[in-house]
Structure formats: C-alpha cells, structure tokens
Amino acid sequence: MKSLAVLHASQLVTLGGPNRPRVRAEMSELGIIRDGGMLIRDGKIDSVGPSDEIERKVRDAEIVDAGGRIVLPGFVDAHTHLVFAGNRLDDFERRARGETYEQIAEVGGGIWSTVEKTRAASEIDLLAQAKKHADWFLGCGTTTVEAKSGYGLTVEDELKILRVMRRLSGQTPLEIVPTFLGAHAIPHNRSADEYVDLVIDQMLPRVAAERLAEFCDVFCERGYFDVEQSRRILTAAKKLRMKLRIHADQLTNSGGAKLAAELRAATADHLEKTDEQGIEAMKSAAVQPILLPGSVYSLGSTGYPQAREMIEAGLAVVIATDFNPGSSPTPSMPMVLSLACTQMKMSPAETITASTINAAYSLNRGSDIGSLESGKLANFSIFDRKDYRELAYWFGVPPTHSVYIEAKRGH
C-alpha cells in the first residue's frame, strides 16, 4: 500500500498521551499540533508532527492537503442501536403532545413497535437500512461504532440482526463492534423470568458459538429487567467470555451502576438518575460511564447525567449518540458534543476526549484507534473548521470535509 501524507492541518488534534483512558485534567489535554501533519504507511500512522517536518519525509507519498482545516481521530461512537426497521414517527408526535416514553411503550409504541417491524423485515431490507445509517455516521466524522442487537427478542431474530451487522462490516468502511442486547424488552408472550431463561439458555450460547458479539448488554430498568435478572444474564455472558455493558439508571435509579461495578462491566450507559453512591461504585471498579445526552434531549427531558461530578470523581467519561429510532434518532457526534457542552457543562476539549480515545478504550480498542499516534490505525476526519471548539459550537451544520479509515477515503 502506498504511503499518505496529511499536511497543513490548522490543528492536528492528536489526543497523544498515556496508554489508558484519560481522567480529570487529562481529558482537557488534546495534544494539538498547529500546522500539523502526519505520515501514514500501510494504513497505520508512522509519525505526526509539524507539517514542515513531515513534508521532509514525504518521498513518494500521496499528499492530502488539509488546507488549514482541523484533523481529528475519527469519532468512536460507543453506544448505538444501528440495526432496526422503520422509524418511530408516531412516538415522536405523541411525545410532542406531552406523553412520556414509558406511557407510549404501555400503549403499543416504544421498543416493541420497532421489534414487530424488525422481525417482519428481511435480512436484505435490514442491511439496506443499516447501510444508509452507516453512511450517516461516516458523514458525521465517525469511523467506529458499537452496535447493539435488541429489536428481535427471539433466538432467530436476534441472530438475524447480529448477522446483518457482520454482513454490513464487509460493505461499509465504518468499523462495527457488535453487542448482544437480547434483554432489551420483554416479549408480550412470556414472563420476564421465562424470557431471561431463553436469553441465557438459547440465545447467549448461539451468539458465542457463532462469535457474533464481543459484548453483552442488558436494559436494567423498571418494567424491563431488574437487577437480579440483569445479573443472571450478564454473569452467563461473562462465563462465555463476553465483556459487559449495561443500560443503567436511565429512567429510575435502579441500581444499574452498582451492578456494573459488581460485575466489572466495561461500561455503564445512560446514568441520568445515578447518585453519588453509583458514581463511587463505578470509580472503585474502573467502569467507564457512557453519557447519552441525545436521548435526554430527544425525549424532551432536562434531566441530564452528572457529567461534572463523574469527571471530578476521576471516571473516564465517554459520550455517545445512542442512535436508535425511539429515544435518540441522531447519528451526529458533533450534535452530541454541542449537547454535552451546553447541557452537561463539559468543556469542548473534554467532549473530544470523551468521543475519541476514552470511547476507544471502552470498546477494548484503545491501542488501535482513538488518537493520532505512531502505530495506530490511520482513522481520521477532516472538518471544515479551523479550531476544534467549533465542532461543538456551530450546531445543526454538518462540519465534515472528508473521512479516512485505515488511510482509505471512506466519505
């Protein structure tokens, strides 16, 4: 493969630093090189530095002139529900009339309505829709997404969704990290405990045997899966060598963050209702919080998670889109950066760390992606902006110029 040289970034935002997730003041250290450049060989970063230094090493490399724009590691979106059929326009309209997420779910909307559409869809149709979503992510400067199943809720339908992810991986440059979320809702024809047995006895072994998911997730929430049921599922997944994530404390403070700590989960996600004890528990077990302000915004709530308290407690905070048809229909990480600054009082620099290097570590990929450092994959986005703070500042305007994955143009 030919080498590539990126030159003349107004700011090359490297995120260079220690080989671990960043905490406290480290979250504000972006390792910016002004008029920066990078030399890339075989899809990996060889060196980064001032443009004139890189230019001297160029030789036969193809040149990408960033033209005074900013260059960052591709966003790593560590929480999405990428594969589903249809949309939830009716739920959206009902919420605009004042009904709540839980009320709408009780009367036939909610997750269940997407499950019905997803079960009815063919693999080809699901793949086509997922491919469209993948293009949206790339267009927003994201180069890796975690993707959860969870709109099937039968053995075959959950496997269908995970297989769609696998096929999609071969058809898009976007990197997809699959998570099994069979415990996303309780199907109408079963009791919760019966369904938990089905997840443990029939779904998890198949998912593990076909190596269809790296992580297992559970929606631990009132009306969904309680702490004991979540513990059973996640413990079974752990025995199958899957790593863990948990939808925790989104609508009620139901003990999800503490369970994540007890089970040494990689992440606890949402955390809108998590209290100080939950934060302490996560800290004691190095669980990474994944905050999803897009879902708070889209549900029309103002109860954002306590990002500042979490950063001050030394947690390696991540932010993600929660892309899904019900509570967060956005693939846009720049939008999430904006919400994180305005609603959760994170600084622009902290939001960049939370959506790149910290997110990469939460997906067990911290040594390959999430920063622009020698030896890492050349996954980067060029944005039509001069200062990285503009990503969070201008909202509602897509800022992307171009996106590269392993040095190949992906958008």
Taking the complex as a whole, how short is the minimal distance between the CB of residue 200 and ligand NIG, in angstroms?
20
Taking the complex as a whole, how short is the minimal distance between the CB of residue 345 and ligand NIG, in angstroms?
22
Number of residues that bind ligand NIG (CB under 6 A): 14
Which residues does residue 215 pair with via DSSP β-bridges, in sequence order? Answer: 179, 243
Taking the complex as a whole, how short is the minimal distance between the CB of residue 179 and Fe ion, in angstroms?
10
Exposure string for 212-224, b = 16+ CB within 10 A, e = fewer: bbbbbbbbbbebb
Taking the complex as a whole, how short is the minimal distance between the CB of residue 233 and ligand NIG, in angstroms?
15
Degrees, nearest 5: CA angle 47-50-55: 75
Among 80, 327, 330, 338, binds ligand NIG (CB under 6 A): 327
Segment interacting with ligand NIG, rule: CB under 6 A, options 107-115, 158-166, 236-244, 339-347: 107-115
Rounded to the nearest angstrom, the gap between the alpha carbon of residue 390 and the centroid of all alpha carbons in its chain is 21
**Interface residues toward Fe ion, by CB under 5 A:** 322
324 binds ligand NIG (CB under 6 A): yes
322 binds ligand NIG (CB under 6 A): yes
Q: Detail the DSSP E strand segments found in 303-368.
A: 318-319
Q: Which of 160, 8, 171 is nearest to 85 (CA)?
A: 160
Residues 126-145 that bind ligand NIG (CB under 6 A): none
Residues 291-310 that bind ligand NIG (CB under 6 A): 295
What is the dihedral angle through the alpha carbons of 397, 398, 401, 404, rounded to the nearest 10 degrees?
160
Question: Among all chains, which residue has been given the structure tokens 């992307």?
Answer: 400
215 binds ligand NIG (CB under 6 A): no
CA 92 – CA 114 distance, rounded (Å): 13
Residue 194, by phi and psi: left (phi above 0), alpha (psi -120 to 50) or beta?
alpha
Q: Do the Cβ atoms of 117 and 85 come closer than 8 Å? A: yes
Taking the complex as a whole, how short is the minimal distance between the CB of residue 129 and ligand NIG, in angstroms?
14
Cβ-closest position to Fe ion: 322
The dihedrals phi and psi of 49, each to the nearest 5 degrees, come to 175, -175
DSSP 236: H
219 binds ligand NIG (CB under 6 A): yes
The tokens for 205 are 């072994």
Taking the complex as a whole, how short is the minimal distance between the CB of residue 221 and ligand NIG, in angstroms?
7
The residue among 80 and 143 lying less far from Fe ion, judged by its C-beta, is 80
The residue among 289 and 399 lying less far from Fe ion, judged by its C-beta, is 289
The residue among 144 and 250 lying less far from ligand NIG, judged by its C-beta, is 250
Q: Where do contacts with ligand NIG occur on this chain (CB under 6 A)?
A: 81, 110-111, 114, 219, 247, 250, 295, 322, 324-328
